[in-house]
């Protein structure tokens, strides 16, 4: 017996518009059908995308990206303890979290995007962003001063603010480009197994990058 699913009105459906769109897309791979079934059985309104782990990782990093801006806001010629803390927190985030994340992407995410797009240069501009993050982080490393130093020159303050605000804008836009351009592409093109393999490789690469950090 064949049962027909009618999707003429989202009002009459017991599940979300998202599910209606999936059904209407007529992409019925076994994995997709399994996801649809699970959504119906569990009453879940949103199906997690294949690239959800990377979106989650970005979500965890976002508050620290905001910290870059807040650190910039805190920099004046006289440095308070709070300003010192924010600068150090920003530097630690960049060196211990963000740069390993970027290295993992260069190693395991971007090659998959290049393959999916059929263009080896498809991620070159994004890798260049990573290089710039590294360069600005190095600059921040040389500009930061010891906690015991309670004042800096106007030029030093300007340079610190420039670097922190520059990193903030660069990283925020970079995340948006990954999430809005690349991840939907991977969601549409990768199988679950391919996505799983990619994230395992990313995790191993990030682990490796963190293992080589100076203490």
Of 35 and 105, the one with the shorter C-beta distance to Fe ion is: 105
Query: Minimum Å distance from CB 148 to Fe ion?
Result: 35
Of 86 and 174, the one with the shorter C-beta distance to Fe ion is: 174
Of 19 and 112, the one with the shorter C-beta distance to Fe ion is: 112
Contacting range for Fe ion; rule: CB under 5 A; set: 13-21, 116-124, 152-160, 178-186: 178-186
* 105 lines the binding site for Fe ion (CB under 5 A): yes
Query: Minimum Å distance from CB 177 to Fe ion?
Result: 8
Contacting range for Fe ion; rule: CB under 5 A; set: 19-27, 43-51, 82-90, 171-179: 171-179
Contact criterion met (CB below 8 Å) for 17 and 10: yes
Query: Minimum Å distance from CB 60 to Fe ion?
Result: 11
CA distance 76 to 101: 30
Contacting range for Fe ion; rule: CB under 5 A; set: 115-123, 149-157, 177-185, 197-205: 177-185
Task: Map tokens 């782990």 to a residue.
Answer: 53
Structure tokens at 200: 């395992």
Query: Minimum Å distance from CB 126 to Fe ion?
Result: 6
CA distance 131 to 126: 9
CA distance 51 to 190: 9
Structure tokens at 44: 């879940």
DSSP track, 40-109:
HHHT-SSPPPTTHHHHHHHHHHHHHHHHHHHHHHH--SBPPHHHHHHHHHHHHHIIIIIHHHHHHIIIII
CA distance 76 to 152: 8
Contacting range for Fe ion; rule: CB under 5 A; set: 65-73, 115-123, 135-143, 173-181: 173-181
* 98 lines the binding site for Fe ion (CB under 5 A): no
Query: Minimum Å distance from CB 86 to Fe ion?
Result: 23
Q: Site residues (CB under 5 A) for Fe ion?
A: 105, 178
């Amino acid at each position: 017996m064949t049962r027909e699913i009618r999707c003429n009105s989202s009002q009459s459906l017991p599940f979300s518009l998202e599910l209606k769109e999936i059904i209407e897309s007529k992409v019925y791979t076994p994995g997709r059908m399994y996801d649809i079934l699970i959504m119906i059985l569990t009453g879940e309104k949103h199906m997690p995308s294949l690239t959800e782990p990377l979106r989650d990782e970005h979500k965890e990093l976002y508050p620290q990206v905001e910290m870059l801006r807040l650190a910039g806001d805190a920099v004046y010629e006289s440095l308070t303890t709070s300003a010192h803390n924010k600068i150090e927190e920003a530097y630690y985030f960049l060196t211990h979290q963000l740069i390993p994340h970027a290295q993992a992407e260069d190693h395991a995410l971007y090659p998959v995007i290049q393959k999916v797009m059929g263009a080896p240069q498809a991620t070159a501009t994004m890798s260049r962003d990573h290089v710039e993050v590294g360069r600005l982080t190095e600059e921040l490393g040389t500009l930061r001063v010891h906690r015991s130093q309670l004042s800096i020159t106007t030029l030093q303050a300007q340079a610190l603010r420039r670097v922190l605000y520059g990193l903030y804008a660069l990283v925020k836009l970079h995340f948006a480009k990954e999430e809005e351009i690349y991840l939907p592409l991977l969601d549409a093109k990768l199988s679950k197994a391919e996505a799983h393999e990619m994230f395992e490789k990313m995790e191993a690469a990030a682990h490796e990058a963190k293992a080589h950090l100076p203490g």
